[in-house]
Amino acid sequence: MKTRGVFLVDGERFTEVGFIETGVGTHGLYPSRDGTKLYVTNRGSSRVHAPPRGPGSVSVIDFATRRIVATWPIPGGGSPDMGNVSADGKVLWLSGRYDDVVYAIDTTTGHVTSIPVGKEPHGLTLWPQPGRYSLGHTGNMR
């Protein structure tokens, strides 16, 4: 979170082999359903508690090239935190930690829809099975 990016690690040697800078408060990592991209949340602050409407964004990294192919800013500022990709791969769902919202981001266009929820949602998980979700960090299944 404080380094503003993601480390590339050699899986066999478990050593750092590179770094990709993505944005302020890099936090969550979510692979696309087809395994070609990595969605990286940058929650707009590297602090545990932060004001709303920070410079939050989502960086899209292509696994094959190890390069950022898109950056989706949150309109008006925001705090994309933790979440997951829908079963069909079309929507990236993320909690908006400091903005009391959940974001639904179109994985083709990067269009962001903000949905008001309760105070400081910290995590949201979707499982591929219909009807399974969590609003309690990333594991309290409903």
Q: Is residue 33 part of a domain?
A: yes
**Local mean pLDDT, 10-residue blocks, the chain (142 residues):** 91 95 94 96 89 94 97 96 91 94 97 93 70 53 45
Question: What pLDDT was estimated at residue 118?
Answer: 87
Question: What pLDDT was estimated at residue 112?
Answer: 98
Question: What pLDDT was estimated at residue 140?
Answer: 46
Question: What pLDDT was estimated at residue 121?
Answer: 85
Question: What pLDDT was estimated at residue 100?
Answer: 94
Question: What pLDDT was estimated at residue 141?
Answer: 45
Instruction: Report the alpha-carbon distance of residue 40 to residue 85 in Å, rounded.
Output: 12
Question: What pLDDT was estimated at residue 131?
Answer: 58
- The model carries a pTM of 0.88
| Three-state secondary-structure class, residue 36 | coil
Segments forming the whole domain that contains residue 52:
5-134
Residue pair 126/85 in contact (Cβ under 8 Å)? The answer is yes
Question: What pLDDT was estimated at residue 105?
Answer: 98
Q: Is residue 141 part of a domain?
A: no
User: To which residue do tokens 């990294």 refer?
Assistant: 61
Close Cβ partners of 5 (under 8 Å, ≥ 6 residues apart): 19, 20, 21, 22, 23, 26
Q: Is residue 129 part of a domain?
A: yes
CATH, residue 49: 2.130.10.10
Give the number of domains in the chain: 1
